[in-house]
Structure 1
Amino acid sequence: MFTMGSILGMAILERPRRDVQLPSLLLYPHAELAVQMNTKVAWVFKLQYAMIFGEGGRYKQAEKLEEEVLEEQKQVLGDHHPDTLLTMGNLASSYSHLGEHQKAKELKGIVLSKQKQVLGENHPDTLHTMGSLAVSYSNLGQYAEAKELEVIVLEKRKQVLGDNHPDTLHMMGNLAVSYSNLGQYAEAKELEVIVLEKRKQVLGDNHPDTLHMMGNLASSYSALGEHQKAQELKITVLAKRKQVLGENHPDTLHTMGSLAVSYSNLGQYQEAKELEVIVLEKRKQVLGDNHPDTLHMMGNLASSYSALGEHQKAQELKIIVLAKRKQVLGENHPDTLHTMGSLASSYSALGEHQKAQELKIIVLAKRKQVLGENHPNTLHTMGSLAVSYSNLGAHQEAKELEVIVLEKRKQVLGENHPDTLHTMGNLASSYSALGEHQKAQELKIIVLAKRKQVLSENHPDTLDTMGSLAVSYSNLGQYQEAKELEVIVLEKQKQVLGENHPDTLHTMGNLASSYGNLGEHQKAKELNVMVLEKQKQMLGQNHPDTLRTMGNLAISYSNLGAHQKAKELGVLVLEKRKQILGANHPDTLDIEQLLDSM
């Protein structure tokens, strides 16, 4: 007699491996029923159930089953049996999915030690665990340690399996990710190009692993500021995945979501939003409302709302995501904490800086507890908290916190890591807010030199620093120098990002201000009019950037003596800001103050 659980288990074992996730999700309700009925089944079937739960985002259920099987296997097979070690590895993966990265790392360390003893240093299973342990190092922010371990595994795999074996290529891909985590984007790209060519040769152009590497390479293009190139490659991957895997396969949907990110990077926020809405609906249909991938897409969609200035809508969606992540993943899961931090940003965008600060303090405490004091995500939250201090006018506190973050990032990530340079830029802004404009200027010059060296002359982050340096020139009364630098930045941004990219338009607005500072009010007005038309077209009538330009244009009218026109435009901005941001938002109060001065 077969039990229901055994029949289901055999059905799972017989199902095809291709498109593994979709059949698993179809079987999920039956697996859940079997477990609820406490059906006695063989280990192999229980582990298959655990796999189904894992693929359905039900990591807690997967963990429970794996722990049950592990105890039974230890008792019957012993601690060192390969099957026991395999289950331990699976359990470690469940810990990782649950955000318990330290626990995962420790368990993988135990498995590795036992596999070395039982199977030998160079056995494929031993090397697999070493690679998996490297992933845990990365999850804990120990990127250098991850890279070192991956280099060892790569050399062993080349020796044991050969240069072109799929497992060797997989490790090369992981090593490329570590290069990216360390901010070594050019090195990552070079390695990914090699892996991609080898995978095409060994597996074919349309193999899922080949397409996966194309997606990784596209991400490296993005990190290097080559957003157009990234977008084009993602479009290619998407077409191939639709053809090979189908429209609704999770990997296809992942690529669609990644393509939406490229749209955002290119300032095409509306296109990004529309694509994310499609992906979200498909993920709900295929994976369910509460699957981690579905929630991830909801978070991305919320970010697009923010980019479009729809901060209230973004906030509401983030609150939903946060509630679901707490329910599915737990209060302290890294993804839950990420959403809390993102929600805090929405509070800031809506002018609720005190609320944002309080939430960031909670996130920081949890990240210190879960990830450690020096984890990159912990340091990110510290930097974000410093921004909240600045928003509340506590610039000295912001500066002191940024100094701490900067020292930690130098220690953990290195002097030239993009995150380290980002903090240096934030610290420079705090110097400016404290009136230490010379100090700010000097620090920005250092950041600019490093970004040119690390990222290239034309990388968007390099250009952003050049624009920020121009602001420092203005703060020091060096309006001509500011104007000249902004002209250079503007030309580069037009070339790299396009005429209508929000960053390009932002620089045009800054250049208009420099014209105003130099008394060239007609020129300032004409440029503000041009920026305003483009922003209305790209971002919408009510976007914060559009309203900011309207305010700047009002100043230009006032400087040209067209006071009535200036006042009418200022009143329009005030009404829109009251409606969108509220009467007490700092931007609303700024325009009120401007109107009073006219």
Structure 2
Amino acid sequence: MHGRGGQENPLEASIKSRLQKQVDAAGERYERTGVAPFALAGAVTEMEVTLRNLSGDDAAVLEAVRFPDKFETYLRRRTASRRQNIEAAAEPFFDDLTRIVADEFIRLVPGSRGFDIAALKQLLARQEQLLAGQEQILDGQAETNERLTAVATDIQEIHSAVTRNQSAPPTRIRFGSRPRVSAGFVKREGQDELFDAIFTRAEPRTVLTGMRGSGKTQLAAAVAARCEEEWPLVAWINAGSRKELIADLYELALRIGIDAPKDIPPETIIRRFLDQLHSADAADRLVVFDNVENLDDLKGLTPKGSGVRVIITTTRRLDWDSLGWSPMAVGVFDREQSIALLCQRTGDAHRDAADQIAEALGDLPVAVTQAAATAKWGHYSLSEYFIRLSTHSLESSISRLEGDDYPDAVGVALFMAYEQALDQINSKYPWQERIAISLLDALSLLAAPGVPTHWLLALEDDSDAVRDTLSFLKRSSIIQESTDGKKTIVHRLQGQVYRETYLSEQGKFNKACIYATTILYKINIGQLANFEQQRQETRNLVEQIGAITSQDHSRPLFSDPDFVAILATTLRDATDLGMPQLALTLTESVTQAGKALDPDHPHTLISRNNLAGAYQDAGRLDEAISLHEQTLEDSTRILGPDHPDTLISRNNLAGAYQDAGRLDEAIPLHEQNLEDRTRILGPHHPATLISRHNLAGAYYDAGRLDEAIPLHEQNLEDHTRILGPHHPATLISRHKLAGAYQDAGRLDEAIPLHEQNLEDRTRILGPHHPHTLISRHNLAGAYQDAGRLDEAITLFEQNLEDRTRILGPHHPDTLISRHNLAGAYQDAGRIDEAIALYEQTLEDSTRILGPHHPATLISRHNLAGAYQAAGRIDEAIALYEQTLEDSTRILGPHHPNTLTSRNNLANAYLAAGRSEEAKKLFGTP
């Protein structure tokens, strides 16, 4: 192994001799002390991961150049968390590897510019010689050989990174609230094989199968924990049902930055996310689908791509190989692991008693772990615990699901665990026992993947007492916390035991339902000042309600009118906060409410009404109108025509008709509602003001400005007097009146109203709230109409910048801002800037919304006008022709937009000297 000129390269000699010496030394220690080969392999694995991280880290390169004397200390600090993952006996070997890597890193970095890369490649191509003797030292341990080979390869990557000046790793995304890896996590049989499949072979699809309580989720969490240190994407997805899968993947797509117009269904957004993942450059990425109950739920939702690994956990026993998955059976502890865990965690060395407990529990990890915790915190010896386990009995065995094959004593152990915890709390802090029961009640009925911890803290006025109780239950291993600290989780099997024992009495179960509903009921989205907090809490509620819908044991909650009221409110909040697609994931929940409560119950009707509103906001008008019509018919029959809920249903149906352009049907309903509310509630009641506002809007859409403006003026006056000048409803009334004035050409009256609205919304909501951006947009439009282009352009530019930053460059609202700024540029004669923005907007609109979407037609039409203004008449005509053809087919020949397209194409023909073609268009009816 020689460098140029036949002389041995010093670096080559250094790497070879240093690594070889350490391998020899490790072999000697192995022979003398009995260090297991897998322990050595584990040390090499951890160093391999560290090297991969360093290979793209410019900060580490700078550290080595600037402070070479301190670089080994720096590297030891960087590898401290890795060192904790290896066997104690292999720590000296890991320390030696750290020193060698530090030395070679320092040697490589300073001379990287003049270093002969070819020589390094030659050196590393012969790495088998470098690692010669390892196979003999480790007695044929092929895995360790592969790991050490990877060390040499990673040293090459370090040098390549230095010479290429690689950029920093991509932004890391950590999605989902996964369970923590338990303290003292017991290494499982097959764990090395799993880690090798994920980290070495890059196995794309792995399935962990086993009964509940076998530790599948803990094993997947251990993989995720290691990936989280370095991989750019690690996602933990709740996969109990397809609905939960879609909800989580949809939110993940949003986190990744996929544009999600509210009229595009979640499945389409997820498909775009998966396509992006599939076509992205190679990178290590992990997605865990936890608790898959039905493999069909994964159809069309499983990520693929270079470097993408997918792990699923399931109790299902299928022919996974033939289905394209690499299976790993997660069994129980081996007996020695069970005995060691019981003895170590309790401090009781009575191995025979530990063996008896393990035998009784079938070595099931969740039961053995819980038994150790119960014995420890109950101050029982292992012998005493075994006697209690043997003499306790349950009235009936715990129900088993597919894949479960554990002894009845498992149920007894989990029953004893929570029973003892409650007894201890009662003996020390009697007032906290009720808190503990209420927490366990709620956790056993709400979403199995966990409940936001801050919700639980609000269950009682004394949040400190709740926090202390949660801490006690965690110490007793009854519950656990997610790794991000956001959720509290009860193991699915522990939750089942609690339900089938403590909650087996109907009275206790009913009280548990009340606790669960109370936790959800206390969440008041409107009281949250921060817009993103409102959205996040609404997402949390949707997740909970969706899970409750899927969990058989939770569905009795739908019999409670208060729970269905929460469903109705959540549907409304999700829609109002711009997340109608999220609301639509609760469609099955609305159906369940009708079955469990009563299809004619007022809260069921409100849920259906709000679901229809979500359809409407998502652009699914046919479904919205159908549901609104049915709800209005039912409300009129059940509640009567003058009931407030009936009037709301009529109002919402009128709004759906209006959105669908069916103004002849919308206006009579609005007029009837205004008349009825004025008669029943009086002319100044807030609901009456809403009806007047909506009728004015319908008149406005129908071009009846003379009738719309007086209604808007009256509404603004009443809102200001009744609610105050800064109330959100007052701001909306002022906004509507300003728009009507503007369209009527009364700009001197419109502009002051727009200015006041922008000032108020900026002060009340903040400069970046969606409503503030709308007010700024409207004021800019009024300035533009008034010829005050410099002021208009400044506001349009600010809006485009804010929307691009907040929503992303391809969000539909961002496209609107870009389109409007282009129009202002065009009016100001800045035609080149206008055309560039119009072209970008048309490209994005075509890709995101589709070539035939009305917004795309408008973008194409306006780009044509800009081309025409720039003298690019042939390009303008081509776009006008396409727009007219699409408008005629999609909107109809007599739609105003179609008529405008026909007129502008005719004028373009005239400008091009094609008068005969122009005459034909002018003569078209």
The TM-score with structure 2 as length reference comes to 0.41
Aligned counterpart, 1:177: 613
Aligned counterpart, 1:432: 868
Structure 1 CA distance for aligned equivalents of residues 863 and 460 of structure 2: 52
Q: Secondary structure at the match of 2:745?
A: coil
Q: Indicate if the aligned counterparts of 1:224 and 1:459 stay in contact, CA closer than 8 A.
A: no
Label 1:398 to 1:264 Cα distance change in 2 as closer, same or farther (>3 A): same
Shift in Å at residue 344 of structure 1? 0.6
Aligned counterpart, 2:541: 108
User: Could you tell me which amino acid in structure 1 is paired with residue 610 of structure 2?
Assistant: N
Aligned counterpart, 2:526: 93
Structure 2 CA distance for aligned equivalents of residues 128 and 374 of structure 1: 36
Aligned residues: 421
Label 1:331 to 1:168 Cα distance change in 2 as closer, same or farther (>3 A): same
Aligned pairs for 1:192-341 within 5 A: 192-341=628-777
The TM-score with structure 1 as length reference comes to 0.61
Moved more, 339-348 or 221-230: 221-230
Is 1:153 paired with 2:586?
A: no
Aligned counterpart, 1:123: 557
Moved more, 219-228 or 273-282: 219-228
Label 1:488 to 1:335 Cα distance change in 2 as closer, same or farther (>3 A): same
Aligned pairs for 1:10-159 within 5 A: 72=461, 74-76=463-465, 82-88=517-523, 90=524, 92-95=525-528, 98=531, 102-108=535-541, 112=545, 120=554, 123-124=557-558, 138=575, 141=578, 143-147=580-584, 149-159=585-595
Q: Indicate if the aligned counterparts of 2:526 and 2:534 stay in contact, CA closer than 8 A.
A: no
User: Could you tell me which amino acid in structure 2 is paired with residue 440 of structure 1?
Assistant: A
Q: Secondary structure at the match of 1:389?
A: helix
Q: Indicate if the aligned counterparts of 1:177 and 1:188 stay in contact, CA closer than 8 A.
A: yes
Q: Indicate if the aligned counterparts of 1:74 and 1:84 stay in contact, CA closer than 8 A.
A: no
Shift in Å at residue 289 of structure 1? 1.4
Structure 2 CA distance for aligned equivalents of residues 84 and 112 of structure 1: 12
Q: Indicate if the aligned counterparts of 1:70 and 1:84 stay in contact, CA closer than 8 A.
A: yes
User: Could you tell me which amino acid in structure 2 is paired with residue 173 of structure 1?
Assistant: N
CA offsets 1:466-510 (integer angstroms, 9 cap, x no match): 444444444444445445544555xxxxxxxxxxxxxxxxxxxxx
Structure 2 CA distance for aligned equivalents of residues 469 and 269 of structure 1: 29
Q: Name the larger-Rg structure.
A: 2
Is 1:377 paired with 2:813?
A: yes
Shift in Å at residue 296 of structure 1? 1.0
Aligned pairs for 1:456-467 within 5 A: 456-467=892-903
Aligned pairs for 1:496-515 within 5 A: none
Shift in Å at residue 238 of structure 1? 0.5
Shift in Å at residue 301 of structure 1? 1.2
Label 1:272 to 1:113 Cα distance change in 2 as closer, same or farther (>3 A): closer
CA offsets 1:157-212 (integer angstroms, 9 cap, x no match): 34434544444443443343344334443443333223322222222222222222
Q: Indicate if the aligned counterparts of 1:193 and 1:217 stay in contact, CA closer than 8 A.
A: yes
CA offsets 1:19-50 (integer angstroms, 9 cap, x no match): xxxxxxxxxxxxxxxxxxxxxxxxxxxxxxxx
Structure 2 CA distance for aligned equivalents of residues 158 and 122 of structure 1: 12
Shift in Å at residue 309 of structure 1? 1.3
Q: Indicate if the aligned counterparts of 2:564 and 2:603 stay in contact, CA closer than 8 A.
A: no
Q: Secondary structure at the match of 2:819?
A: helix
Structure 1 CA distance for aligned equivalents of residues 804 and 904 of structure 2: 31
Structure 1 CA distance for aligned equivalents of residues 733 and 603 of structure 2: 30
Label 1:237 to 1:388 Cα distance change in 2 as closer, same or farther (>3 A): same
Structure 2 CA distance for aligned equivalents of residues 463 and 218 of structure 1: 27
Shift in Å at residue 288 of structure 1? 1.2
Q: Indicate if the aligned counterparts of 1:161 and 1:168 stay in contact, CA closer than 8 A.
A: yes
Shift in Å at residue 303 of structure 1? 1.2
Structure 1 CA distance for aligned equivalents of residues 851 and 534 of structure 2: 26
Structure 2 CA distance for aligned equivalents of residues 220 and 467 of structure 1: 31
Q: Indicate if the aligned counterparts of 1:111 and 1:129 stay in contact, CA closer than 8 A.
A: no
Q: Indicate if the aligned counterparts of 1:322 and 1:336 stay in contact, CA closer than 8 A.
A: yes
Q: Indicate if the aligned counterparts of 2:517 and 2:557 stay in contact, CA closer than 8 A.
A: no
Structure 1 CA distance for aligned equivalents of residues 553 and 762 of structure 2: 40
Structure 2 CA distance for aligned equivalents of residues 189 and 313 of structure 1: 37
Aligned counterpart, 1:390: 826
Is 1:347 paired with 2:783?
A: yes
Structure with more of its chain in helix, by fraction: 1
Q: Indicate if the aligned counterparts of 2:571 and 2:607 stay in contact, CA closer than 8 A.
A: no
Moved more, 310-319 or 401-410: 401-410
Q: Indicate if the aligned counterparts of 1:182 and 1:417 stay in contact, CA closer than 8 A.
A: no
Shift in Å at residue 142 of structure 1? 5.0
User: Could you tell me which amino acid in structure 1 is paired with residue 526 of structure 2?
Assistant: S
Shift in Å at residue 463 of structure 1? 3.8
- Where structure 2 has 5 or more consecutive residues not aligned to the other structure, the ranges are 1-454, 471-487, 489-514
Q: Secondary structure at the match of 2:726?
A: coil
Structure 1 CA distance for aligned equivalents of residues 826 and 910 of structure 2: 20
Structure 1 CA distance for aligned equivalents of residues 851 and 803 of structure 2: 23
Shift in Å at residue 141 of structure 1? 4.8
Q: Indicate if the aligned counterparts of 1:218 and 1:229 stay in contact, CA closer than 8 A.
A: yes
Structure 1 CA distance for aligned equivalents of residues 462 and 815 of structure 2: 41
Structure 2 CA distance for aligned equivalents of residues 449 and 459 of structure 1: 13
Q: Indicate if the aligned counterparts of 2:738 and 2:754 stay in contact, CA closer than 8 A.
A: yes
